[in-house]
Amino acid sequence: MNQSTERWVLTSTILASSMGFIDSTALNVALSSIQASLHASGAQLLWVINGYLLMLASLILVGGSLGDRWGRKRVFMAGISLFVLASIACGLSPSIQFMIAARIVQGIGGSLMIPGSLSIITSMVAPDRRGRAIGTWSAISTLVTVVGPVLGGFLSDHGLWRVVFLINAPLGIFALIVLFIKVNESHDETIAGPIDVLGAALATVGLAGLTYGFISAPGDGFKDPRVIGTLLIGVIALIAFIYVEAHTEYPMMPLGLFKSHTFSGANLLTLFLYGGLSAGTFFLSLNLIQVQGYTKTEAGFSFLPFAFLLTIMSRWSGGLADRQGPRLFLILGPSLAGLGFFWMAFAGLTNGPASYWYAFLPGIALFGVGMGLTVAPLTASVMGSVPIDHSGTASGINNAVSRTAGVLAIAIIGSAALFSFSNILNARTASMNLSNQARLSLNLEAQKLAGASVPAAVGPEMVQAVGQSIKLAFVDTFKLIMIICAIMAWVSAAAAAVLIAPRVQVESNVPRRLPPEEECCA
């Protein structure tokens, strides 16, 4: 393939990847605007994130396999098309229920699109120019990742949160045109056997059951038949998934890979650390904007130290881990990330952005350094712990685990947050002389988490006190969440200490998954 065509390949993959990175990094900052505009409850806000992650976690392995079998260009274009159409639907959503449905479709599109970028570059760019192409893709994707929160904040501050989704349309359409005109099709002719449709279906049902059950529990109670039923369905489906993967001839997730202690340890680390990352950043955005008084733009800028430190530290730690082995980094990195969460747990109710420098910046910086020390060595551990002919599968499994971690963490920790916020708010207002109608209205408002407002039924003499109680109740809940996230990070460090080998031999020709600076944010 000539260099001109390779440049078009790179252009199309960068445009497509930019959609996913902008969407994932800008959305957290825009959530408060979405909640206010579409009158979403706290549980519905959790579904805006989890509807997408659920499909992505369940189907990303299938998406990569379909590209290899049916044509990388064809599946990549199908994923981009579905992602763009769903993004437009999100941007035009008339209701929160419509948006959740559109986000689910967007996740299906993402599962076809996300595995395709590096796969197409690897298959279509000449080996002597491939490293430079991936480096260019990485650098531009990093820039998009850094800009995403600021862009999301700026648009939301100007009442344009819908543009966070609609901006995907021109990017995706241009990528499709380039792919259609300039890029040839490619397949993997060596793949045999059917796609593991049953495994994918069971994984989707299992994760959906657990997600629905945990998110619904605060409102309906764990004794509600629907909650009990969906949780049971989720557990049974996941047990069935493990059984099917152990006995099918062509499994989506070959369980034999987990015989490697290092591979198992790396994925256990991923499950806990990336779960904490997903839940922690979700609630940090809500805290900064809805409680601490930050504008959306200021909240977006507050995440920049994390992105810069992650980028800088990843390049340094990746090379050092190759020489000294990854285990030390995989103990130290999550430990520092846990300290970052722990610091932010005690921020309290601050004076707004003026307090950022001591209330949140040290914790965000610790978290950025910790993740920067972790991501590249984690990639090395995953890719080096299995035979080279299974490296692509191992990478896909670890990416799926990171998405699954996000789904489960946001569902379970989100459920705990809804319980905690409601109980603390009731306790803080118990001594106030509120009417029965005011108290009932306040309990309904508690379902909105930090988006709760003082009900109209509250007398004017109590408005300020109730408003302060709402803020303090969320601050207390945020403290609980950050402590849980810190514990998850420290558990992941313990998993690394116990299971990951001191040195992992990584073959130089093992294909890499997402570059370190993008991987935790994609």
* Res. 379 pLDDT band, cuts 50 70 90: confident
Quick one: 72 and 214 in the same domain? Answer: no
Q: What is the pLDDT of residue 388?
A: 64
Token couple for 42: 């706290």
Distance between CA atoms of residues 433 and 238, nearest Å: 48
Quick one: 1 and 22 in the same domain? Answer: yes
Nearest to 416 by CA among 364, 487, 468, 520: 487
Q: What is the pLDDT of residue 138?
A: 66
State pLDDT tens for residues 1-52. Answer: 566 777 888 888 888 888 887 777 788 889 989 999 999 988 899 899 989 9
Q: What is the pLDDT of residue 497?
A: 94
Distance between CA atoms of residues 359 and 349, nearest Å: 9
Quick one: 2 and 96 in the same domain? Answer: yes
State pLDDT tens for residues 205-247. Answer: 998 899 889 888 877 778 889 889 999 999 999 999 999 999 9
With b meaning 16 or more CB within 10 Å and e meaning fewer, what string describes 175-209? bbebbeeebeebeeeeeeeebbebbbbbbbbbbbb
Within 125-166, residue ranges assigned H as helices are 127-157, 163-166
Within 161-260, residue ranges assigned H as helices are 163-166, 168-182, 197-220, 225-247
- Domain CATH for 28: 1.20.1250.20
Q: What is the pLDDT of residue 510?
A: 40
Distance between CA atoms of residues 158 and 161, nearest Å: 8
Q: Is residue 417 part of a domain?
A: no
- Residue 8 corresponds to which amino acid? W
Residue 373 CA neighbour count, 13 Å, CB half? 18
* Res. 131 pLDDT band, cuts 50 70 90: low
| pLDDT-wise least confident of 263-267, 432-436, 490-494 | 432-436
Which residue would you say has higher pLDDT here, 310 or 288?
Answer: 288
Q: What is the pLDDT of residue 512?
A: 41
pLDDT at 508 over 60: no
Is 464 in a helix, a strand, or coil?
helix
State pLDDT tens for residues 290-306. Answer: 999 999 999 999 988 98
* Res. 505 pLDDT band, cuts 50 70 90: low
State pLDDT tens for residues 270-280. Answer: 999 999 999 99
> Across residues 379-397, what is the average pLDDT?
74
Distance between CA atoms of residues 437 and 46, nearest Å: 28
Q: Is residue 289 part of a domain?
A: yes
Quick one: 263 and 135 in the same domain? Answer: no
> Across residues 462-482, what is the average pLDDT?
93
Q: What is the pLDDT of residue 324?
A: 79
Nearest to 45 by CA among 27, 24, 57: 27
Quick one: 32 and 178 in the same domain? Answer: yes
Which residue would you say has higher pLDDT here, 328 or 252?
Answer: 328
Quick one: 146 and 17 in the same domain? Answer: yes
* Res. 482 pLDDT band, cuts 50 70 90: very high
| pLDDT-wise least confident of 194-203, 373-382, 405-414, 512-521 | 512-521
Q: What is the pLDDT of residue 521?
A: 52
pLDDT at 506 over 60: no
Distance between CA atoms of residues 106 and 86, nearest Å: 5
Distance between CA atoms of residues 476 and 348, nearest Å: 8
- Predicted TM-score of the model (pTM): 0.86
Q: What is the pLDDT of residue 99?
A: 96
Q: Is residue 479 part of a domain?
A: no
Q: Is residue 291 part of a domain?
A: yes
Distance between CA atoms of residues 272 and 219, nearest Å: 26
Which residue would you say has higher pLDDT here, 54 or 486?
Answer: 486
Distance between CA atoms of residues 391 and 513, nearest Å: 10
Q: Is residue 318 part of a domain?
A: yes
Q: What is the pLDDT of residue 515?
A: 44
State pLDDT tens for residues 63-111. Answer: 877 877 788 888 889 999 999 999 999 999 999 999 999 999 999 998 8
Quick one: 239 and 382 in the same domain? Answer: no
> What percent of the chain lies above the pLDDT cut of 70?
91
Q: Is residue 317 part of a domain?
A: yes
Quick one: 148 and 246 in the same domain? Answer: no
Query: Cα–Cα distances in Å, from 470 out to 423, 455, 466, 473, 479?
Result: 11, 11, 6, 5, 14
Is 44 in a helix, a strand, or coil?
helix
State pLDDT tens for residues 109-120. Answer: 988 888 777 778
Q: What is the pLDDT of residue 2?
A: 65
Structural domains of the chain, count: 4
Q: What is the pLDDT of residue 504?
A: 58
With b meaning 16 or more CB within 10 Å and e meaning fewer, what string describes 444-457? ebbbbbbbbebbee
Q: Is residue 478 part of a domain?
A: no
Distance between CA atoms of residues 172 and 18, nearest Å: 9
- Residue 248 corresponds to which amino acid? T
Mean pLDDT of the chain: 86
Q: Is residue 477 part of a domain?
A: no
Distance between CA atoms of residues 453 and 491, nearest Å: 36
Neighbours of 389 (CB within 10 A): 8
Quick one: 308 and 387 in the same domain? Answer: yes
> Across residues 309-326, what is the average pLDDT?
78
* Res. 517 pLDDT band, cuts 50 70 90: very low
Which residue range(s) make up the domain with 455?
422-472
Task: Say if CB 486 and CB 345 are below 8 A apart.
Answer: yes
Token couple for 40: 């979403």
Quick one: 376 and 496 in the same domain? Answer: yes
Quick one: 266 and 220 in the same domain? Answer: no
Which residue would you say has higher pLDDT here, 134 or 50?
Answer: 50
State pLDDT tens for residues 319-353. Answer: 777 777 888 999 999 999 999 999 999 999 999 99
Length of the chain in residues, anyone? Answer: 522
pLDDT at 262 over 80: yes
Distance between CA atoms of residues 124 and 138, nearest Å: 17
Quick one: 285 and 342 in the same domain? Answer: yes
Residue 63 CA neighbour count, 13 Å, CB half? 28
Q: What is the pLDDT of residue 149?
A: 86
| pLDDT-wise least confident of 276-280, 367-371, 461-465 | 461-465
Residue identified by tokens 């659920």 is 54
Distance between CA atoms of residues 339 and 346, nearest Å: 11
